[in-house]
Structure 1
């Protein structure tokens, strides 16, 4: 088991271990949510994740037309996880909240149309997409 938590520790998740379902997202909403040029999420089946604490929820419209629900600490403000209406069986966990430098690298880099020019997500087999899952870019 591994854990993810907010900066102050009030919100914590218990996860079964590392996952290979890791994506870097360069959409403008993730840039604003993280305060960084991209967000990185690890995705787990919701039924294998235990959540401790009472997060605050922020809901926004997704490009897919559904909603994405972000859960963050009401004390320190750290976003720890999220759920998308179009993937109800999955939970996205902020890789930064896991805080493990050996955690697996992203296998997907999405919304690259708004990627900062100096950012490069590389590695064997990384899928590069202009949108969330719509079209693959040429390498």
Structure 2
């Protein structure tokens, strides 16, 4: 089984993910834009049983548009978000794709919150699209 490791900018906080992600997505919501400092966030999700954690994290809990909570885990030293959990998706761990620093990482299969997508951002036509 293949594994991938994501880490923060300083390397103190790491996650190792076994196997293929169950979903890779792009999110254009305003919260992801603020969290990433980018016009969108891209994340991959794994079953929690396939993810191991190393290092110390600090948590930030945000309430989403649907009323559910998202617990972001980030490095207390450099501030990089390395993983998060969504209460409405128990048993899954999401990892920002950029934390893998791997240009060969698989592309998204779905693009969400497209109503908030920047006009210049192009996503593949072949994936699922949601407003």
TM-score normalised to the size of structure 1? 0.89
The C-alpha deviation readout for 1:61-114, integer Å capped at 9, x for no partner, is 011211000001110110111100100110110100011111100000000111
The C-alpha deviation readout for 1:14-66, integer Å capped at 9, x for no partner, is 11144251000000000000000000000000111000011100001011211
> 2-side partners of 1:18 and 1:95: how far apart?
13
> 2-side partners of 1:59 and 1:113: how far apart?
24
Pairwise CA RMSD: 1.0
Give the number of aligned pairs.
129
Instruction: Identify, as 1 or 2, the structure richer in strand.
Output: 2
5+ residue gaps, structure 2: none
5+ residue gaps, structure 1: 131-139
Q: How far is the alpha carbon of 1:2 from its aligned partner?
A: 1.4
Detail structure 1 runs of 4+ shifted over 4 Å in the superposition. none
> 2-side partners of 1:18 and 1:34: how far apart?
23
